[in-house]
Amino acid sequence: MAAAMLSLFNYRLFVVTPTNHFMRISDNGHLYTSVVLWSLYFTLCFVGMIDISPDQTEARKWAMERYSCAKSAMSVPKLTIFTLDKLKRIGLMAGGLCILGFIIGISSVLLSFRYIKRRGNLSSKTKQMQKRFLIYLCVQVSVPLFSMIVPIGMLQYVFRTHSSTQRDLGNLACALVGSHGCIASLSLIMCNEPYRTFATSPLIRMWKWKLRSRQASREVTEFTLRSTQHQPS
């Protein structure tokens, strides 16, 4: 997912990069960069997953000593337990990949805005369109960041502290993960003009109808009051 997001930012950067710039190595430069990103992330994830499963006998013993309440779960068939030392390597790998992706993504966004501003052969309308595309892309990419990565960090904090008072924080993290689909769909609708127009046009029509109804009701009330005032006593 991270490689796909970075590939999208890389393509937007490639579109606005000047033709004589060294970053535009060829007409398919964005494809080469995307392949490099996919290969890098796949290789690092593959290396991080090697020998990640601990000895289950020792892992079950460790889990029973550390968490006495887990005794009832040990009878689950094909149960795989991961110890903290194995999970630590996964956490370090994921953290490193996130930092790398953050650096590449921020650099791509900043360079894209810079090239959009400095390209003189683009009309003002085209520049506004490119900026809008880039902003919408940032909004859509930020959805999994806040609805998946942040809750995972919150759950890791809860597991590390082993405090029962952090239950509300864990519930909030689970709620954020569950809301990912809804938030992603809303961002997709609002960031695409045809979808946004189709979804909001009924609401706009209803709002205008209510305004007209209120205006008509107000006019009728004012007319009734004026008629009452002009009637002879």
Q: Would residue 162 be called left, alpha or beta, if left means φ above 0 and alpha means ψ between -120 and 50 degrees?
A: left
User: Are 54 and 143 in the same domain?
Assistant: no
Q: Are residues 98 and 144 in the same domain?
A: no
Residue 86 and residue 35 share a domain: yes
Q: Express each pLDDT in 103-151 by its tens digit.
A: 888 888 888 888 887 776 777 887 788 888 788 878 877 777 777 777 7
Domain annotation covers residue 151:
yes
Q: Does residue 60 share a domain with residue 33?
A: yes
Q: Is 108 inside any structural domain?
A: yes
Answer yes or no: is pLDDT of 12 > 80: no
Please check the confidence at residue 211 and state whether its pLDDT lies above 80. Answer: yes
- Mark whether 104 and 176 lie in a shared domain: no
Structure-token pair, residue 74:
């040990």
Q: What is the mean pLDDT of residues 208-219?
A: 82
What token pair was written down for 105? 């993504």
Q: What is the sign, positive or negative, of the torsion defined by CA atoms of 122, 125, 131, 137?
A: negative
Reported as a pLDDT band with limits 50, 70 and 90, residue 205 is confident
Say whether both 3 and 111 belong to one domain. yes
The predicted structure's pLDDT at residue 15: 72
List pLDDT tens digits, range 17-70.
Answer: 766 665 666 777 777 778 888 888 888 778 777 777 777 777 777 777 777 777
Q: Which of 119, 150, 180 is the last residue in one of the domains?
A: 119
Structure tokens that stand for 98 in this block: 């996130």
Per the CB < 8 A criterion, the answer to whether 6 and 37 are in contact is yes
207 pLDDT above the threshold of 80: yes
Q: How far is Cα 137 from Cα 164, in angstroms, rounded to an integer? A: 39
- Same domain membership, residue 135 and residue 111: no
Query: Residue 198: inside a domain, yes or no?
Result: no
Which of the pair, 163 or 139, is modelled with greater confidence?
Answer: 139
- The alpha carbon of residue 78 and the mean position of all alpha carbons in its chain are separated, in whole angstroms, by 33
Same domain, residue pair 114 and 2: yes
139 and 88 share one domain:
no
- Residue 50 shares a structural domain with residue 80: yes
| Mean pLDDT value of segment 195-204 | 83
Number of neighbouring beta carbons within 10 Å of residue 154: 18
Residue 197, in any domain of the structure = no
Do the domain assignments include residue 54?
Answer: yes
Q: Give me the domain span that covers residue 73.
A: 1-119
Please give the DSSP secondary-structure letter assigned to residue 220. Answer: H
| Residue that finishes a domain, picked among 92, 119, 146 | 119
Length of the chain: 233
Q: According to the model, what pLDDT value does residue 231 have?
A: 57
Instruction: Tell me what pLDDT residue 124 has.
Output: 80
Number of domains in the chain: 3
Instruction: Report which residue type is found at 115.
Output: Y
Domain-embedded: residue 62? yes
How many Cα atoms occupy the beta-carbon half-sphere of 224 within 13 Å?
A: 6
Q: Does residue 7 sit in the same domain as residue 114? A: yes
pLDDT for 23 equals 64
* Average model confidence (pLDDT) across the chain: 76
Instruction: Tell whether the model's pLDDT for residue 165 goes beyond 70.
Output: no
Q: Please tell me whether residues 105 and 137 are part of one structural domain.
A: no
Q: Write down the pTM of the prediction.
A: 0.58
The pLDDT score that the predictor gives to residue 22 is 58
Q: What pLDDT does residue 114 have?
A: 82
Residues 11, 15, 18, CA angle at the centre, nearest 5°? 130
Higher pLDDT, 195 or 51: 195
Residue keyed to tokens 């890098």:
40
Of the residues 119, 140, 157, which one is the last residue of a structural domain? 119
